Amino acid sequence: MTLQEIVDQLNLRPLTARHDFDQVTPSSGYASDLLSCVMAGARRGGLWVTLQAHANIVAVAALLDLSAVIITEGAMPDPETIAKANEEGVILLSTDKSTFHIVGRLWELGLKDH
């Protein structure tokens, strides 16, 4: 499943400049707001769901080569964070829905933790 399909199905708002979503195929998913847990648990190429919106999520996503970050509950990163994400090639997506809801939908769509 491509990121484009996920963005369409979950009605996610892209916050960053990269839009080649049909070229990105998330391989797994991870949900946590504790950055060290993400560091320990998220896999390369995975999708990360969090309500954290500060600049460090970009560093974490870049270090782990994550396919995209879904920021939940309408949390909005500041412009510097978005600029940093663009610089690092990190895809940030936003939704008003909760992490629980998003993870549930992703699982339904077939993105499992494998």
Partner 1 sequence: MRSGQRITDELAGYITRVEELAYELRISEVMTRDVKTVTPDMQMVQVLELFRKARISGAPVVVEGRLVGIISIEDLIRCLRGGDVAAPASDYMSTQVITVKAFHPVVEALKLFAQTRVGRLPVVDESGALVGIITKGDITRGLLRALQSDYQEEEVRRYRASHLFEDIVSDRTSLILRYTIKPRDFAHGGAASSHIKRALLRLGANPQIARRCGIAAYEAEMNLIIHTTNGGVIQVEIEPHLITMRAVDDGPGIEDIELAMRPGYSTAPEEIRELGFGAGMGLTNIQRCVDQMVLESTPGKGTRLEMKIFLQHEEALKDCHYNQEKKT
Binding residues among 60-99 for partner 1 as defined by CB under 8 A = 60, 62-65, 80, 88
Do 31 and 49 meet the contact criterion of CB atoms below 8 Å apart? yes
Among 12, 31, 49, 50, binds partner 1 (CB under 8 A): 50
Q: How far, in Å, CA of 25 to CA of 82, rounded? A: 22
Q: How far is the CB of 71 from partner 1 (least distance, A)?
A: 12
- Amino acid at residue number 31: A
Q: Rounded distance, CA 73 to CA 41, Å?
A: 22
Q: In sequence order, which ranges of the chain are alpha helices (DSSP H)?
A: 3-10, 35-41, 56-64, 79-88, 99-109
**Residue 113 is a binding residue for partner 1 (CB under 8 A):** no
> Is the distance from CB of 68 to CB of 95 less than 8 angstroms?
no
Per CB under 8 A, the list member of 9, 13, 56, 107 interacting with partner 1 is 56
Least CB distance to partner 1 at residue 62 (A): 5
49 binds partner 1 (CB under 8 A): no
Binding site for partner 1 (CB under 8 A): 1-2, 22-23, 25, 27, 33-37, 39-40, 43-45, 50, 52, 54-56, 58-60, 62-65, 80, 88, 110
